[in-house]
Structure formats: C-alpha cells, structure tokens
Structure 1
Amino acid sequence: MIANAYKSLLNELDAGKKAVMVTIMNDKGNDRNVSPEKILLTEENLRVYTSIDKLDTLIYQKAQYALETGNIQFIKEQDTITYLIEPYFPEPRLIVLGGGHIAKPLVELGARVGFLVTVIDDRPSFANKERFPDAEKVICESFEKCFNLFHINKSAYVVIVTRGHRHDMDCLRKALKYHAAYIGMIGSKRRVKSVKEQLLSEGYSQEQLNKVNAPIGLDIGAVTPDEIAISIIAQVISYRRLANTLSGSAASPKINWPELDRTVLEELSKGENDPKAVVTVASTKGSVPRKAGAKMLVWPYGKTLGSIGGGCSEGEIIHIARDVIRDGGHRVHSIDMTGEVAEEEGMVCGGVMEVLIESCDK
C-alpha cells in the first residue's frame, strides 16, 4: 500500500535519516490508468548496490545521486516507464539550551527560516510557551537531565546559550557525545579557551573540540541580543546549506535541501480509502514559485492540502487532478510561466514547471 510506504518514510525522517521515494509509472496504453507504484529506499539500502525488484542499475544510481545531492530526478524511458525519484531529508532541528535574552530572538529567527525549534531552560519563568510561541517544544528541566527528552542526530543544530559557565560546560559535555550537524557555545575567547582546556584534561579529543563553534556566531561585530541572534542563525544556516564546503569536501556535490511538506506526507500515510490525487512538482526551469519536490493533495470535492505555488497555474492543475481521480493512473503536465500568456494572467515568475499528477485512492 502507498500508505505503508509513506509511514516508513516518516519513520526514517523522525529517526534523523534521509530516504528516497521512487515512483514507477507505466506509460504503455491502458497501463497509464493503473496507480503508480512506490518503493522506499533508505540510506542503508543505498549504501551498497543490491538487487531490488523493478529497479535497474541506472535507476539505483540515480537514487544514490538524489540522496547525495537532494536533487529530484525525473526520468522518462521512451514512452514506456517514467520514474520520479524524490530525496527526503529530515527537517532541521534547532536545539536552544538556555532561554535568556539571546534565545528569544534566536528562536523567532530559527522558526522563520524553517527550523523546528526546541528550547530548554530550568526556570519556569523562562521555559514557557508564552515566552517562546514560535518554538515547537519548550522544555522546563535541568540541563543535566534534559538530554533524555529530545533527540540529537545529524539533522540537529545545538546552540548553547545558558546563563552560566557551569551550565554551558554541562551542556557541551553531553552534546559532544552526539553526532550533531552543528554545535555552538557562547562565550569570550578567554572563557572558551578555558573550557576547551578543561575538556581536554577530561579526555575529550581535540577533534571533538574542533567541531565546536566557540565563540559562537559569525563575526559581524554583533553587540545587542538581536544582533548576536542574527550572527548565530547565520552561522547555523551556513552549516545547513554549505555543509560540504565547511567540511572541506571538495569532491562531494553541492547539497540542495529538498522541499518537504510534513502535513501532506502525514495525510498520505493515513491509508484512508478516499479518492484523491497527489500533485508533485517534478522538475523546474527558470524562476518558479516552488522548487521541485513541492506537493499538493487534491480531493474531487474541491478540498486541497499543500501548494505548488498558487495562482491560476495551480487552478489549472486542480482541474486536471479531478480528471485523474476519475480516470485513475497519472498525467504529466507542463506549466509555462513565460511569454505573453503568463503576463496576461498576472504571473510574476518566468519559468516552466513540469508537474506529475497521480491518483491515490488508498
């Protein structure tokens, strides 16, 4: 079932792992009206080539490339089979240890640029939803015990901005035990040097300490809490978007962070037997409102979930989706946002989107 594939996908993402969903569509004759098939490939599947049903070596290699780069692959094999290969990366999580004056603007900025934010402080007056309305989670617990209440993995970005030297040390000791995408700690150069010397004496390696960004943030001369928060979130973004460059891995391809709409994936994982269509931006060229991978669900009675950009182009796709729901199978439709027609329709973009519409009734 399609629902099982999306349940498994969400499980991988929640574990902080990447995955690739391969959609196989038969383009021959009446087979076009058969619902596409989904195959989920995990990071473990893609590490070493193994024989997987219905996937030849080329498709397997394309899936590996999608996982490495975050770039969706849309492959048409001479009017016989079409493959949509979608990479999925776990949502980036910003873990803010400390709920003080820097944390407040930092949480707001982090949520605004797409991070799921967790704030931890041991003071009820600082660790509450009223103070941090943009945070996904606000945890009131001691810094010694709080690490059991959230997950730190390769998609987590840890910021240590507690109210005191001892708490910073406690948090750093624990954070270094995990493989986070980023660890940063506030403090002056003198204080940071003292912390690193102490941890070296405790047995932490120089390699571990070299991964800590301290003093935290980009050097922009920040002084106020808002400015310091901007410098921190800018550094965190650079680690998210420029991971290969920062690690010195020139051989690795540039990573694109693919679109992910969790509400759409959760709806697809429910397995409810109600007819609907899944709309996916399969490829783009030029200036378009959404990147490849953006998704939308369409029901026959007009309800929609998610978006591929809005406007008249989306209205056209909704109309086609209703036909696909009625007839089954899939369609590929091109939305041209260039030229006089687009201008007359008021489109501000100037590119082309290739959109896949597939039936999904279970």
Structure 2
Amino acid sequence: MMKKKFYESLFKKLKLNKEVFIVTVIEGEYEGKNIAGQKLFKSKGFMSIEDDNIKNFWNEIFNKIDFNKGTYVLELDNSIKLFIEYIIGQPNLIVCGGGHVALPLCQMADLLEFDITVIDNREEFASKERFPMASNIICKDFKEALNEVEFNKNSYFVIVTRGHKYDQQCLEIILENDFYYVGMIGSKGKVKFVINSLLENGYPKEDIDKVHTPIGLSIGAKTPAEVAVSILSEIIQTKNEKIISTIPDNISDSILNTSEPMVLATIIEKHGSGPRDPGTKMLINKNGEFIGTVGGGSVEYSVYKRALKLFDEKKSILEEYNLSNSDSAKLGMVCGGHIKVFFEFIDYDDN
C-alpha cells in the first residue's frame, strides 16, 4: 500500500525541483503478485520506489521508460501497464522589467495561477504597491537580481526592460541556466543588436534560437494589454506542448495531513471528447468528502461511487468509462469518447 512517507518525499522533491516524474503500475503482476498501484518517482538526481520488495521489477523495466515524452501510458510486453506522469509545480513567471507591459502581463498571469517574480532596478517600478499580485519583487541591478532567482524547467522568463543593455544582461544569465521559456520584447533593430552581441560573445546559435523574439503570438497587438495577451498566449502554447500533470495544493495537503484511507482517482487516458485531460485528479475520503474533479456531471458521480466501494475492497484498479455507446446518455456525455481512470487505494497502515 502507498505509505505517507513516500508522498512526503515526493512533495518535498516537487517543491524543491518544481518537477518530478511519477511512474504508477496501473495493471500487472510481478512474481505472481498484483502490483497495481506500486509507484516510483524520479526527480533531478534522485529516485525513490514505494516498495523495496519489488526493487528488481523496477530495475528490469526502468530503461524502457521515456522520460522525455511528458505524461503517457506505456504498455510492456509482459502485460504490465505503466502510467508515467510528468508533474510540475506552479509555473514561475519571471518578468525582467516593471514597465507598461509588465503590469497587465502580471495581472493576467495571476489569473492563470503563475507564481510571479518582478525584477527592476527602479523603486517606482519594483514595488508591492504596483505589483500586489507578485510573490517576489526584486529591486536591484538585473544581474544581481537574477542571481536570486530559482532557475528550473518550470521557469518562464519575459524580458521587457527599457534598453538593450539590460536585455542583454538578462539574456546572458538566463541562457546559462535552466528555463522552459524565454522571450524578449523589442524593435527589430534592438533585437538584432542584442542577438549579434550574444553571438560575438560566444553564445551558441542553438541557445540563442531558444529565445522567442519577436515575443508573443502574432495577433496584431497594439496596446500594452494586447501585447500581454499575445505573450501569455505564446507561453501557454509552449507550456502545453507536452501533456503535463499537476497535483493541486489542496489534494497534496489532504494526503499529507489525513491519516485515514483515501482513494486517488486519476484520468490516465482520454479518447474523443472526454471531460478532462490525463493527470486530472480527484481525492475521495472514507467519510465521503472529496477534493478535485475528473470532469463533473454523471461521469464524476460514477467515479465517486466506485471509489467508495474500494474502501471495502482495499485495492487499486483501472476502470474505463465508455461514452461512445448507449451508456453515454446515462453518463450525461452523449458527445462520445471514453476515458480510463485509475483508482489508487491509499492506506497509511504500516502493519
């Protein structure tokens, strides 16, 4: 059974590294024993398995897992099915420059649940009064400020400073670290000057090509707010190129702070017009309370009722909800398609 200490370690690494991979056995046996629900997680420089008794199983199949594909289902030759989840924490938006584009950019990013950092070397443009939605405001020289920023694969950098000198300073530091997105605003002349300077200073062209410039999707944006929309649209597009899972804070907090058995329902596959994407989760407590959603309506009610039965069965199972036939009307999803949901029984009894 899943143990609380395993989740504690997982959430600690997620908070530290902002990204982890969780591998869950959703179907299969090993040495004659049903191992559905067994888990492994991998983060930067670290790996942990739930049960050391099946360590050999993970050793045998580990190299078959592609950790560059995002979230997906892997079927192995020996009737083993794995669900690989690429889990990220709350995305971090770091805005270099606190001027007229930065303000609507941060306001909209807050609605999209980004964790926001604003950097500017002018006090009037780097204050809590101007950016109340930002969790981190750094009023320092750009080079010095970026040394205080956490770089990782969940970091999105937007460079909107007031001059090419500061743009170049920011880019030089960002390109030498981990990031998921970096974009720079500016005229063609300004952008060309900065790019040529980086090339002259020895930065590889393949690194410079990672910079989104001109920044934002081409939507004919004119006002600062419209430019902010185009920038965030491009960030969202980039962020969603891979299927990425998240574990909402209310679900992780409940797992850590509840000592009663629970069932975690996760959509692992969606075909057709299913209600939510793979990785979407709902946590059901033994007393009938639940957190999260797998799409609402009759589908969610069916998942909820099945989860409640598992408190007596004490096992993890994979179920399919077919929405493409006559059952779809009963489920309120006549649009068709089907989803697969993995129900993970979480028991904290160490005996």
Partner of 2:346: 360
CA contact under 8 A between 1:74 and 1:282: conserved in structure 2? no
How far residue 257 of structure 1 moved from its aligned partner, in angstroms, is 2.0
Query: Which whole-Å CA distance do the structure 1 matches of 2:36 and 2:165 have between them?
Result: 59
120-129 or 285-294, which deviates more: 120-129
Partner of 2:275: 289
The answer to whether 1:225 aligns with 2:227 is no
Query: Which whole-Å CA distance do the structure 1 matches of 2:82 and 2:162 have between them?
Result: 49
Instruction: Report the CA distance shift for 1:109/1:171 in structure 2 as closer, same or farther (over 3 A).
Output: same
Deviations along 1:88-107, one digit per CA (max 9) or x if unpaired, are 24244322112222112323
TM-score normalized by the length of structure 2 = 0.79
Instruction: Report the CA distance shift for 1:235/1:322 in structure 2 as closer, same or farther (over 3 A).
Output: closer
Instruction: Report the CA distance shift for 1:77/1:208 in structure 2 as closer, same or farther (over 3 A).
Output: closer
The answer to whether 1:55 aligns with 2:58 is yes
How far residue 328 of structure 1 moved from its aligned partner, in angstroms, is 0.9
CA contact under 8 A between 1:124 and 1:140: conserved in structure 2? no
Q: How many residue pairs end up in the alignment?
A: 337
**CA RMSD, aligned part only?**
3.5
CA contact under 8 A between 2:97 and 2:119: conserved in structure 1? yes
Return the letter of the residue paired with 1:85. Answer: F
Instruction: Report the CA distance shift for 1:84/1:6 in structure 2 as closer, same or farther (over 3 A).
Output: farther
- The runs of 5 or more residues in structure 1 that have no matched partner are 243-255
TM-score normalized by the length of structure 1 = 0.77
Deviations along 1:100-149, one digit per CA (max 9) or x if unpaired, are 221123234444556443333345554455644554x2313212322233
Partner of 1:253: none
Partner of 2:154: 155
Q: 1:304 aligned to 290, 304, 317, which one?
A: 290
Partner of 1:323: 309
Aligned pairs (5 A) from 1:142-221: 142=140, 143-221=142-220
Return the letter of the residue paired with 1:38. Answer: K
312-321 or 36-45, which deviates more: 36-45
- The runs of 5 or more residues in structure 2 that have no matched partner are 48-53
Query: Which whole-Å CA distance do the structure 2 matches of 1:165 and 1:237 have between them?
Result: 26
Deviations along 1:13-53, one digit per CA (max 9) or x if unpaired, are 4414442323366679x977x9833222446689xxxx952
Identity %: 33
Query: Which whole-Å CA distance do the structure 2 matches of 1:209 and 1:26 have between them?
Result: 46
**Structure 1 counterpart SS, 2:143:** coil
Return the letter of the residue paired with 1:356. Answer: F
How far residue 330 of structure 1 moved from its aligned partner, in angstroms, is 2.0
Partner of 2:37: 36
Query: Which whole-Å CA distance do the structure 2 matches of 1:234 and 1:277 have between them?
Result: 35
How far residue 211 of structure 1 moved from its aligned partner, in angstroms, is 3.3
